[in-house]
Structure 1
């Protein structure tokens, strides 16, 4: 029972580590997307007449390929100067690139970006199960932060006490506690919003049961606004220029981020215009239009009820999309700190057990396999994506192999050594393969490759310092 309890604790820490690590990477999803497609057509802004032409061309193409159920237009932005149109059919979907002239190009794919999103959103599990698990772990992380603060009576008094050298457990404990205090507001916000995002499906079901007598469609409509009707008679798409003009009357200066056509080309269709609303934390607002172009509803994320405003803030607060690229960098640093809190928490617990004469030797070997194995697995998934191989089996295969090796190797230090060496090599390998395979034109792609090599150099430098300290 004690062994099982220890393994359950390790699994809990490992899942949180995966969620925090992948979440930190997702903050830069636009930049990673540019790295994965560094030579895609660059689009800086899109005049409305050109946008309308691109939509008409995509809709005509979608009809010929039986992909005209829904159309989703992603507009270019400063951080992601790319434009694309998703055409969604009953059985499959495709994303087409669009150039600055409104020409619809070949199908595109971002397998690594999609993999990292799936890893963070639902742990790559099918259906809603994974998303609910992520929400549950977000709730547990929130509880852990609260109990951690209450358990350390001197945590605020020692907020600036950081002891390097000497006992490794003491150094890890100081790092764990200091990061926990310095970035506590961020940790609380991210864990709370992550819990809400992951459990949103369950929350809607509960709301439907209580407020709408079990009618989930009404509960969803209360959040998402009017939905398409069952009228399947052919109809033209609503005039996108007129809809955008109407939106800008209500929100001057707002930039269009997405255009949705649900049940496209049918009399019961609706169109939605999503915009980035300047000066609002929600950073988004959605307007819903009928098939004839009449405005049906405004979501109210910026000026609606308190509940709708809070609902509109959840995603921007979780991913840091409300303050530009500088804020995203801050989120990356803070997310790295949260990942370190999880990592050092497991390390401290194992070290304390050993000092108390109750070492968990198998767990001591498994934990560094997780800490180093997850960056290894993500880098291996990136390599697989560059080679046209499915990322998910490569990721989980690397994870399983690393854990298996940790149980064969007798010493935790050997596991840590293997993981660190392999991770350093993979950082360099991913950057090198990406440069040779894509010959990137986008400067962001070159910057990311340089960052990967810099991280490898930093890890190698830290390795040398740790080796001298051990001597």
Structure 2
């Protein structure tokens, strides 16, 4: 595949510029996204002792919804009630109640259907805030994340155009030579091998982040500026504002209706909007395992009559595509095995961002335009961000912690440490050892405090510790070998003894 040289140069310049200007945020989004793919497994890991519930019948769901409404009303958070049902991967049920200002309370549901105080997952919730909106308040954070998804997509396209021998070099790796060439090969090869995944994740991430802006544009183009109609086309009609008191909605009738329309469908989520008022309505999500959308949505009036069906599985092309965006981004359409593949591919994308920065900085150094401070700050990003994230996890194990504040303070400490170190190799080594040690310490503490009564979680902790320790030992041996090789490479040729046969005797 031959690309004109002028286009290659322009694409390379654009690719490098995008990477340098926006690489730090893209790296954080790729790193956190790779971890959050395993959200169900992380939930169990963080709180292995939380109440578990394997399966719920429709009658049990209806009964719990009545108790949830009463509990939320007593707590003053009954404007909207959300119920998330247990699944095979996450056998837990949670209920959340919100008031009109957005204040909320949460509860766990045990196997007997009782609502218990919520067992929080502060580290996971922090990670979600960091990935979804960079810990920024309101919709602005999501819009920024969406824009960076678009930037990532542009970087992938320009990188593709910049590689003139993309097919010929698909399996070319130069190990053991120049570090810049090794990084360049990793950057290019991983980028090519997983190109479809990278394009899908970047595109869907951009669409999810910019959904609010897309609805505004949709309203302007298709509905003459009527944002309410545009929103209703995707999410169904909004609940009527009528604050007069009303009895609980007839959930049992709604679930019977769904069984008639989709026999055997399992409820995944249920929301009562404007709960306990005459204007209330109920939104029910059911699993659709034979469809990429994975879910279908139904909207009922309080008396159990169907008001709207989303058509995520059998509607028009637009709704079907809309229904596919979230499963494609999070890898929820193929079980645990696919999630693991998504996590590995996501780490590959994170590696691409890291090596891209390494290559750009190394090229500047070779050209005599080195930027030592930026090199050390890049190391503080690549190795410091995992270190900060693990440290925040450790803090949440020790007790209640201000996760967002801790994250930004620790990030600042990493940047400061990188500026203090004058040697790039010393900075890199320090961060690597600190990361390995912090992971081991966190897992040991987790095993002692939370996993002792849960053998599978305990084995997971021990297994990861073994992998980390083995990697650190291999790293030490590799460093010693590199130092030995490097010492020989630095000896001037006139001091290297050559074979007497080659010198003529």
Deviation at 1:141, TM superposition (A): 0.7
Aligned twin of 2:52:
42
Instruction: Give yes or no for contact 1:7–1:363 (8 Å, CA) kept in 2.
Output: no
Match of 1:142 among 142, 150, 153: 153
> Which whole-Å deviations, capped at 9, do the CAs of 1:315-341 have from their partners, x for residues lacking one?
000000011111101101100100000
Instruction: Give yes or no for contact 1:31–1:444 (8 Å, CA) kept in 2.
Output: no
Q: What secondary structure does 1:284 align onto?
A: strand
Match of 1:203 among 207, 214, 217: 214
* 1:130 and 2:111 matched: no
Q: What secondary structure does 2:383 align onto?
A: helix
Aligned twin of 1:460:
472
Pairing of 1:218-229 with structure 2 (within 5 A): 218-229=229-240
Q: TM-score, normalised by structure 2?
A: 0.89
Aligned twin of 1:62:
72
Distance of 1:157 and 1:77 partners within structure 2: 45
Distance of 2:240 and 2:412 partners within structure 1: 48
Q: What secondary structure does 2:138 align onto?
A: coil
Match of 1:433 among 445, 459, 468: 445
Aligned twin of 1:76:
86
Deviation at 1:210, TM superposition (A): 2.2
Return 5+ residue gaps in structure 1 as ranges: 1-5
Paired residues, number:
466
Return 5+ residue gaps in structure 2 as ranges: 1-15, 484-505
Q: TM-score, normalised by structure 1?
A: 0.95
Aligned twin of 2:164:
153
Pairing of 1:173-252 with structure 2 (within 5 A): 173-252=184-263
Aligned twin of 1:3:
none
Deviation at 1:214, TM superposition (A): 2.3
Distance of 2:26 and 2:470 partners within structure 1: 25
Match of 1:281 among 277, 292, 296: 292
Rg: which structure is higher? 2
User: What is the RMSD computed on CA atoms of the aligned residues?
Assistant: 1.6
* 1:171 and 2:171 matched: no
> Which whole-Å deviations, capped at 9, do the CAs of 1:83-125 have from their partners, x for residues lacking one?
1111112342111010111111113322111111111111111
Distance of 2:55 and 2:147 partners within structure 1: 40
> Which whole-Å deviations, capped at 9, do the CAs of 1:307-366 have from their partners, x for residues lacking one?
111111000000000111111011011001000000000001111111111111111111
Do the aligned partners of residues 412 and 384 (structure 1) sit closer, same or farther apart at CA in structure 2, a change above 3 Å counting? same
Aligned twin of 2:318:
307
Aligned twin of 2:95:
85
Match of 1:343 among 354, 360, 363: 354
Instruction: Give yes or no for contact 2:82–2:97 (8 Å, CA) kept in 1.
Output: yes
Distance of 1:455 and 1:133 partners within structure 2: 36
> Which whole-Å deviations, capped at 9, do the CAs of 1:43-97 have from their partners, x for residues lacking one?
1101222222222122112111111111111100011000111111234211101
Distance of 1:263 and 1:450 partners within structure 2: 47
Aligned twin of 2:496:
none
Q: More displaced, 13-22 or 396-405?
A: 396-405
* 1:417 and 2:424 matched: no
Match of 1:16 among 23, 26, 46: 26
